[in-house]
C-alpha cells in the first residue's frame, strides 16, 4: 500500500476554501482505492520517514513548502492550484497593495502578502529561506525539485510555464464534485427560477459587480456565503449597494445548499479569476444554467455548457445572465460533469500519477 502525506496551508481548516475541499475529497477517495493518506498542516511537526511520497498543495504559497524540502528524502508532487489575481490587484484592490500593484510584479505583491499575514494574523514564516529568495525564485526552486506537478487543467500548467519559464513533468488532475453530497431536491415550483451566487464574499469573487449588474432587473438574486475576515468592508459595501431584489444568506450546510441549487434557474460566479469554480460544478450538476467568468481555466471544464462574462463589466454580467436565463435547463451539463469531474475520477488519476512517480524514482 502506498503511504502518502498531504501537506497544505496552516489555515486549511480554520479558513476553509476550495483547496480544503480538494484536499479532503481527494484523500477520502484515495483511501477507498487502497492508498494510505494522512493530512498535515504546513506548521505541524512531521515524521516524514513514515511515508513513500509527499503531496503538497498551493504552489503560490511557497513559504508553506520550502521549509519541508530540506527534511524529506522521498519524492514529492505539488497540486499547483496556480491562481492569478494580478488583474484584480491592479484594477480593483484598494490601499497600499492596490497602489503597489501598479508599480511592481505580481510575485512581489504575493511576497508582501506573506509578510502581511505574518504581522497581522500571526502566520509563521515557514522557511526563512523564503525571505532570502523571494516569491518567484522560491516557486522556481519548488518546480525544479518536484517529481511531478498536478495542475487542475492543462490551461493552468501552461500559465505556470508562461509565468516562470520552466517546463516540468505534469499530470492534469481535475477538480470535481462529490455526487453523494449533492442530490436534487424536489420542489413544488413548476420550473426553476431566480439567480444565485454561491461563494465566499470577497472582492475577488466579484459579488459587487453582480449586484450592480442585476440592480435594475426583475431577477431575484440570492448571494450565499460568508465574508472572509479581510473583506468585511467589501461585504458591507455589497449590502449597501444591493437593491430589494437581492438577499444574503450566510454559509449553509450541504443539504440546504442542494435545495437552493435545485430551485435556481441560473448560478453566477463572475470572479476575477477561477481555476475551476467548485460551486459552478455543484450548481451545474443540480441543473442550474451557468454564468462563469472568462478569466482563468474554466473553459476547460465547462466548454460550451456555460455562458461567459467579463467580470470587469456589469453590463457583460447582465447580458450573460439574461442569455442563460432564457435557455432551457437540461441534463447535458450534469452528464458532462458525471463523466469527467467526480472525486472518484480525480482520485484514480492522482493514484496513477503517484505510481508513475514512484516507479520512475525507484527504477
pLDDT in tens, 49-96: 999 999 999 999 999 999 999 899 999 999 999 998 888 887 887 776
Alpha-helical segments (H) within 33-127: 63-69, 86-91, 95-101, 106-120
pLDDT of residue 167: 94
Q: Are 214 and 245 in contact (CB under 8 A)?
A: yes
Exposed, middle or buried, 143 (CB in 10 Å: 0-12/13-18/19+)?
A: buried
CB atoms within 10 A of CB 69: 17
CB atoms within 10 A of CB 236: 11
pLDDT of residue 363: 64
Q: What is the per-residue pLDDT across 17-53, written as a single tens digit (0 to 9) for each? A: 889 999 999 999 999 999 999 999 999 999 999 999 9
CA of 297: how far to CAs of 77, 152, 331, in Å? 21, 9, 23
Q: Are 103 and 97 in contact (CB under 8 A)?
A: no
Q: What pTM did the predictor assign? A: 0.91
Q: What are phi and psi of 221, to 5 degrees?
A: -110, 125
Series of mean pLDDT values for 10-residue runs along the chain (363 residues): 95 87 96 98 93 97 92 96 87 72 79 81 78 93 97 97 95 95 63 93 96 96 90 95 95 84 96 94 96 96 97 98 94 95 98 95 71
Rounded-to-integer distance, Cα 145 and Cα 150, Å: 14
pLDDT of residue 188: 47
Rounded-to-integer distance, Cα 127 and Cα 300, Å: 35
Amino acid at each position: 500500500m502506498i503511504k502518502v502525506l498531504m501537506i497544505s496551508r496552516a489555515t486549511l481548516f480554520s479558513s476553509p476554501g476550495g483547496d480544503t475541499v480538494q484536499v479532503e475529497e481527494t484523500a477520502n477517495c484515495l483511501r477507498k482505492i487502497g492508498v494510505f493518506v494522512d493530512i498535515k498542516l504546513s506548521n505541524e511537526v512531521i515524521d516524514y520517514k513514515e511515508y513513500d511520497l509527499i503531496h503538497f498543495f498551493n504552489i503560490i504559497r511557497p513559504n508553506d513548502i520550502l521549509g519541508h524540502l530540506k527534511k524529506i528524502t522521498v519524492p514529492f508532487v505539488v497540486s499547483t492550484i496556480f491562481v492569478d489575481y494580478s488583474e484584480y490587484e491592479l484594477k480593483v484592490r484598494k490601499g497600499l497593495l492596490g497602489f503597489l500593484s501598479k508599480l511592481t510584479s505580481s510575485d512581489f505583491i504575493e511576497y508582501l502578502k506573506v509578510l502581511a499575514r505574518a504581522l497581522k494574523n500571526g502566520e509563521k514564516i515557514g522557511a526563512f529561506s523564503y525571505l532570502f529568495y523571494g516569491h518567484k525564485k522560491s516557486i522556481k526552486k519548488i518546480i525544479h525539485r518536484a517529481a511531478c506537478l498536478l495542475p487542475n487543467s492543462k490551461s493552468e500548467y501552461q500559465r505556470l510555464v508562461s509565468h516562470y519559464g520552466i517546463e516540468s513533468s505534469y499530470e492534469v488532475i481535475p477538480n470535481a464534485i462529490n455526487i453523494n453530497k449533492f442530490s436534487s431536491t424536489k420542489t413544488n415550483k413548476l420550473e426553476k427560477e431566480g439567480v444565485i451566487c454561491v461563494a465566499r464574499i470577497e472582492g475577488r469573487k466579484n459579488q459587487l459587480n453582480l449586484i450592480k449588474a442585476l440592480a435594475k432587473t426583475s431577477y431575484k438574486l440570492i448571494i450565499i456565503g460568508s465574508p472572509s475576515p479581510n473583506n468585511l468592508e467589501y461585504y458591507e459595501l455589497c449590502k449597501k449597494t444591493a437593491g430589494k431584489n437581492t438577499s444574503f444568506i450566510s454559509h449553509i450546510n450541504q443539504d440546504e445548499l442542494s435545495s437552493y441549487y435545485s430551485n435556481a434557474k441560473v448560478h453566477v460566479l463572475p470572479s476575477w479569476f477561477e481555476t475551476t469554480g467548485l460551486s459552478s460544478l455543484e450548481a451545474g450538476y443540480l441543473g442550474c444554467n451557468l454564468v462563469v467568468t472568462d478569466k482563468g481555466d474554466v473553459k476547460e471544464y465547462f466548454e460550451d455548457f456555460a455562458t461567459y462574462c467579463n467580470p470587469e463589466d456589469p453590463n457583460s454580467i447582465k447580458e450573460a445572465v439574461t442569455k442563460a436565463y432564457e435557455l432551457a435547463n437540461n441534463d447535458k451539463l450534469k452528464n458532462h460533469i458525471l463523466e469527467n469531474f467526480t472525486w472518484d475520477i480525480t482520485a484514480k488519476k492522482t493514484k496513477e500519477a503517484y505510481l508513475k512517480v514512484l516507479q520512475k524514482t525507484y527504477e
